[in-house]
Amino acid sequence: MMKWSIELSEYSIKYEPRGAIKAQALADFVMELTSPADEGEVGETQWILSVDGASNLEGSGAGIVLEGPGGILLEQSLRFEFRASNNQA
């Protein structure tokens, strides 16, 4: 953390920790943003995006699958040029 603080200080950027958020407040916020149209079956014009990440001794990366109407399937794998843990990838 100290290393990043020093790196960012040269650009006049300061770290401010994120405040705690209660689980119920987060649930209420998500409910406000979710419209009734979001519920139910996936429509013909909707796309589905799936993302999965992984890391090991060789590096880290992510796999992306985009499924579209009419059976369109787009797959892409990414290799990150930075170190990342399994949770970050």
Q: Write out pLDDT tens, residues 37-80.
A: 655 565 567 888 888 777 766 778 788 888 888 888 888 887 77
Task: Report if residue 88 sits inside a domain.
Answer: no
Structure tokens at 34: 């979710």
Euclidean distance between CA atoms 9 and 49, whole angstroms: 37
Task: Report if residue 86 sits inside a domain.
Answer: no
Task: Report if residue 84 sits inside a domain.
Answer: no
The predicted pLDDT at position 8 comes to 74
Task: State the total domains in the chain.
Answer: 1
Euclidean distance between CA atoms 51 and 89, whole angstroms: 10
pTM of the model: 0.41
Main-chain dihedrals φ then ψ at residue 87, nearest 5 degrees = -70, -35
Which residue type, as a one-letter code, is found at position 39? E
Task: Report if residue 21 sits inside a domain.
Answer: yes
Task: Report if residue 62 sits inside a domain.
Answer: yes
Range of the structural domain that residue 41 is part of: 2-79
